[in-house]
Amino acid sequence: MPVRLVLAGLLWLVFAAGSFAEICATDDLGNRLVLREPADRIVSLAPNITELLFHIGAGEQIVGADEYSNYPEQARKIPRVNNYAAANYEFILSLEPDLVIAWQSGNGEQMVRRIRQLGLPLFVIEPRTLTDIPDLFERLGALTGHDREGAAKAATFRRRLDRLRAEFSGKTPVRVFYQIWNEPLITLNGEHLVSAVIELCGGKNVFGEADPLVPYVNIESVLGADPQVIIASGSSDESPAWLDMWRNWPGIDAVQNGHVYFIPPDLMQRHSARILDGAERLCRYLDLARSGRDDSR
Amino acid sequence: MRRLNPGLLLWTLALLLPLATLLSLATGTVTMTWSTLWQALADLFDDGDLSNQAAMIIFNIRLPRSLLALCVGAILATSGAVMQGLFRNPLADPSLIGVSSGASAGASLVIVFAANGMAFGSTLGLTVLGLGAFAGGFAATVLVYRLATTSSGTSVATMLLAGIAIGALAGALNSLLSYFSDNDMLRQISLWQMGSLSTANWPKALLIGAVTVPLMILFPRDSRVLNAFLLGESEARYLGIDVQRVKRRLILLTAFGVGMSVAIAGLVAFVGLVVPHLVRLLIGPDHRWLIPGAALGGAILLLVADNLARTLTSPAELPTGILTALLGAPFFVALLVQQRQRF
């Protein structure tokens, strides 16, 4: 009897839904992920993901992470599964993760595809804006059984963000050059998260209009743009030695008025909670430039 | 294909070179009218006045960069011409004797082991890095040369094969070093390997200039000898040429020139291989014309390519190597097609 079959099927569905409190989520690639229970053995393929997980209290559940996961301190002890170029898929499988979290543009299409082929539960993130970050607290909180903490952290983050925006984004615009590297000169264009932070503080990225996401520029372009503030990031927690190079170019507004600063790249370039720490520093520096005070280094 | 009169080509190129230089001084992110340019140049020659921004940009940014482009282009193209003549092999270019890959492996070694936390933008850093690159390129060349040389002379075939082997070895060493280097070193290695003229400054320009001048004097002195080599090595020997000595001299000079230019400007592909062919297709294989022609052609090509690299996506920059290939390759293909129709 078809009617009976349908009824039986419906009953089974109701029963199934009741017995397992399933967690459903859609990742940033639009793929649906269903977990029977909150993930307890997580592999994080990028440092920002590791930071996000620790921030919402899911750090202890990470069983494998990438080589650059350096924050918080405990993250350094997690077994390493991948770097920028490759992942140890065999090792990842042996960790028997119930959730692998990847960052699409950081890990690359190939690594993400391979993880998917291996049949591991995969959640791919691709945050683009500042407001994507608190959303991630909530979404990852749901997947890892930290709903409440995720929601609380998201609310705190949003409050802090709103406060910064209200205080700074409407102030007099300041021309900012964000310097990643010295030889060659590398910066970031307007589509990068860093520009969102600059705008949050009421600044304007002087190379916001450049075509590539990570444009190579030259000294002449910087002279032409005449930034009021130069922010160097470099590649570590220490101010790069090459920051001194600007002394040779006293014609630049920022150099003349002493507004050449360093902000550790992990505070500006990672989609994690700490980006607001970087933002607060940047906003302060831009304010110094507005008031014309010299407080550099 | 009808060949051009070599003298005509040389004069044309010699006329184009200052024009190209002037053009590259006049163009950049900061727009300058010709009158500002003249005024700035006049001020410079008058009293070295750098107070106005235009004069400073021209003197401290555009002029050293143009000189660097000129010199690197000339060195790579003449070295290519000499290598192709010496090995009588159309595919020979400076990278074939292992000098480029050796130089980049040498630089990587310096970045990873020798210079902990050294700022490679500084003069000292540049010097150490440059020395590393030069030593690497030189060592690779000597190794290749030794491998190919027996008591009966140097075998061209063995030398080319040894060059490929040493090149692969240096490449592997390079990849290995970048794989095990930390975040900071990795950046330095990969950025350095990309090669760029954007870091040009006066110390770099003067250094490469000091290398270019003797090479441009020494290479043409062997034009006739290279012409004899075109007949074959034994024939050259019967003509009374000390084949072994000539080879050693030219290989060392090439290693020196290319090693230095790789050390200063990174790897700029294509110029060394194709410019000599272009000139040869236009005026024939006589090295008395070919070598100066290649020098001028290489200088102009790199200058124009770098000029475009600076201005096309301004204020951002394109890698110069892309432009040299984009400019040179279609021209080269057109010449090949034209030559084919002769048969």
**Inter-chain residue contact A184 with B120, CB threshold 8 Å:** no
* Distance of alpha carbon B131 from alpha carbon B261, whole angstroms: 11
Nearest residue in B to A226, CA atom: B30
Please enumerate residues of B whose Cβ is less than 8 A from a Cβ of A.
28-30, 53, 56-57, 61-62, 117, 119-122, 179, 183-184, 186-187, 191, 194, 196, 198-199, 310, 313-319
Domains of chain A in start order, with CATH, are 20-154 (3.40.50.1980), 171-291 (3.40.50.1980)
- Closest CA relative to residue A216, chosen from A239, A189, A249, A244: A189
Q: What is the pLDDT of residue B50?
A: 67
**Inter-chain residue contact A184 with B179, CB threshold 8 Å:** no
Chain B contact set for A218 (CB, 8 A): 29, 61, 198, 310, 317
pLDDT at B309 > cutoff 60: yes
B156 belongs to a structural domain? yes
Does residue A65 sit in helix, strand or coil? Answer: strand
Q: What is the pLDDT of residue B164?
A: 86
Burial class (CB in 10 A: 0-12, 13-18, 19+), B328: buried
Query: Could you give the maximum distance between any two Cα atoms of chain B, in Å?
Result: 64
- Measured between CB atoms, does A242 come within 8 Å of chain B? yes
Q: How many CA atoms lie within 13 A of B129 on its CB side?
A: 27
B19 belongs to a structural domain? no
Nearest residue in B to A206, CA atom: B315
Q: Check which CATH number belongs to the domain holding B75 and give it.
A: 1.10.3470.10
Q: What is the pLDDT of residue A293?
A: 52
Question: What are φ and ψ of residue A231, in 5° steps?
Answer: -115, 120
Question: How far is residue A93 from each of residues A96, A98, A108, measured CA to CA in Å?
Answer: 5, 10, 19
B327 belongs to a structural domain? no
Render pLDDT for A69-99 as a digit per residue (tens, 0 to 9): 998 999 999 999 998 878 899 899 999 999 9
| Closest CA–CA distance from residue A112 to any residue of chain B (Å) | 21
Q: What is the pLDDT of residue B49?
A: 63
The torsion defined by the Cα of A217, A223, A227 and A231, in degrees rounded to 10, comes to: 50
B252 belongs to a structural domain? yes
Question: What are φ and ψ of residue A81, in 5° steps?
Answer: -115, -20
- Measured between CB atoms, does A129 come within 8 Å of chain B? no
Give the number of domains in chain B: 1
The structure tokens listed for B208 are 């490469």
The torsion region of residue B284 among left (phi > 0), alpha (psi -120 to 50) and beta comes to left
* Distance of alpha carbon A180 from alpha carbon A188, whole angstroms: 8
Q: Please give the interface size between A and B, counted as residue pairs whose CB atoms are below 8 Å apart.
A: 81
Q: What is the pLDDT of residue A295?
A: 47
Task: Answer yes or no: pTM beyond 0.90.
Answer: no
Q: What is the pLDDT of residue B170?
A: 87
| Beta partners for residue B247, in sequence order | none
Looking only at the bridges linking them, the beta strands covering A23-26 and B149-150 are unpaired
Q: What is the mean pLDDT of residues B201-212?
A: 89
Give A217's contacts (C-beta < 8 A, 6+ positions apart).
Answer: A185, A186, A187, A207, A210, B315, B316, B317
Q: Cα(first)–Cα(last) distance of chain A, in Å? A: 82
- pLDDT band at residue B268 using 50, 70 and 90 as cut-offs: confident
User: Considering only residues 61 to 90 of chain A, which have any Cβ-Cβ distance to chain B shorter than 8 Å?
Assistant: 68, 84-85
Residue A256's identity, in one-letter code, is: Q
B329 belongs to a structural domain? no
- Closest CA relative to residue A49, chosen from A116, A107, A129: A107
Q: What is the pLDDT of residue B291?
A: 96
Render pLDDT for A174-202 as a digit per residue (tens, 0 to 9): 999 999 888 788 899 998 899 999 999 99
- Closest CA relative to residue A190, chosen from A204, A180, A201: A204
- Closest CA relative to residue A160, chosen from A267, A53, A280: A280
**Inter-chain residue contact A184 with B316, CB threshold 8 Å:** no
Mutate to test the interface with A, among B317, B318, B320 (most CBs of A within 10 A): B317
**Inter-chain residue contact A181 with B53, CB threshold 8 Å:** no
Residue A104's identity, in one-letter code, is: Q
pLDDT at A239 > cutoff 90: no
- Pick from A211, A212, A223: CB nearest B30: A223
Nearest residue in B to A183, CA atom: B199
Q: Cα(first)–Cα(last) distance of chain B, in Å? A: 9
* Distance of alpha carbon A64 from alpha carbon A49, whole angstroms: 12
- Pick from A185, A218, A236: CB nearest B310: A218
Chain A contact set for B62 (CB, 8 A): 220
B331 belongs to a structural domain? no
Determine if the peptide bond prior to B18 is cis (ω within 30°).
no
Looking only at the bridges linking them, the beta strands covering A216-217 and A185-186 are antiparallel
| Closest CA–CA distance from residue A133 to any residue of chain B (Å) | 25
The gap from C-alpha B126 to its chain's centroid, in whole angstroms, comes to: 18
Q: What is the pLDDT of residue A13?
A: 55
* Distance of alpha carbon A145 from alpha carbon A276, whole angstroms: 25
* Distance of alpha carbon B214 from alpha carbon B217, whole angstroms: 5
Q: Provide the b/e sequence for A220-259 (b: ≥16 CB within 10 Å).
A: bbbbbbbbbbbbbbbbeeebbbbbebbeebeebbbbebeb
Q: What is the pLDDT of residue A101?
A: 96
Nearest residue in A to B118, CA atom: A241
Q: What is the mean pLDDT of residues B105-127?
A: 68
pLDDT at A297 > cutoff 50: no
B16 belongs to a structural domain? no
Mutate to test the interface with A, among B24, B29, B184, B197 (most CBs of A within 10 A): B29
Chain A contact set for B196 (CB, 8 A): 183-184, 216
Mutate to test the interface with B, among A80, A214, A217, A218 (most CBs of B within 10 A): A218
Q: What is the mean pLDDT of residues B272-286?
A: 90
**Inter-chain residue contact B317 with A183, CB threshold 8 Å:** no
User: 3-state DSSP helix/strand/coil percent for chain B, to nearest 5?
Assistant: 80, 0, 20
**Inter-chain residue contact A221 with B313, CB threshold 8 Å:** no
Render pLDDT for B137-192 as a digit per residue (tens, 0 to 9): 888 888 888 888 887 777 778 888 888 888 888 888 888 887 777 766 777 777 66
The structure tokens listed for A167 are 């205080």
pLDDT at B120 > cutoff 60: no
Percent of chain B scoring above 90 in pLDDT: 25
- pLDDT band at residue A240 using 50, 70 and 90 as cut-offs: confident
* Distance of alpha carbon B84 from alpha carbon B80, whole angstroms: 6
- pLDDT band at residue A8 using 50, 70 and 90 as cut-offs: low
Any idea what the Cα angle at residue A243 is, between residues A237 and A245, rounded to 5°? 160
- pLDDT band at residue A46 using 50, 70 and 90 as cut-offs: very high
Chain B contact set for A84 (CB, 8 A): 186
* Distance of alpha carbon A85 from alpha carbon B66, whole angstroms: 36
**Inter-chain residue contact A241 with B119, CB threshold 8 Å:** yes
- Measured between CB atoms, does A123 come within 8 Å of chain B? no
How many Cβ atoms are within 10 Å of A36's Cβ, its own excluded? 11
Burial class (CB in 10 A: 0-12, 13-18, 19+), B267: middle
Are A214 and B318 contacting, i.e. CB atoms less than 8 angstroms apart? no
**Inter-chain residue contact B191 with A183, CB threshold 8 Å:** yes
Chain B contact set for A207 (CB, 8 A): 315-316
- Measured between CB atoms, does A292 come within 8 Å of chain B? no
Question: What are φ and ψ of residue A28, in 5° steps?
Answer: -75, -10
Render pLDDT for B47-104 as a digit per residue (tens, 0 to 9): 766 667 778 888 888 999 999 999 999 999 999 999 888 888 777 777 777 888 888 8
Q: Is the pLDDT higher at B134 or at A172?
A: A172
* Segments forming the whole domain that contains residue B49: 31-267
B330 belongs to a structural domain? no
Question: What are φ and ψ of residue B342, in 5° steps?
Answer: -70, -35
Mean pLDDT rounded to a whole number for chain A: 89
Give B78's contacts (C-beta < 8 A, 6+ positions apart).
Answer: B215, B216, B219, B257, B276, B291, B294, B295, B298
pLDDT at A296 > cutoff 50: no
Percent of chain B scoring above 70 in pLDDT: 90
Question: What are φ and ψ of residue B86, in 5° steps?
Answer: -65, -45
Looking only at the bridges linking them, the beta strands covering A42-44 and A99-103 are parallel
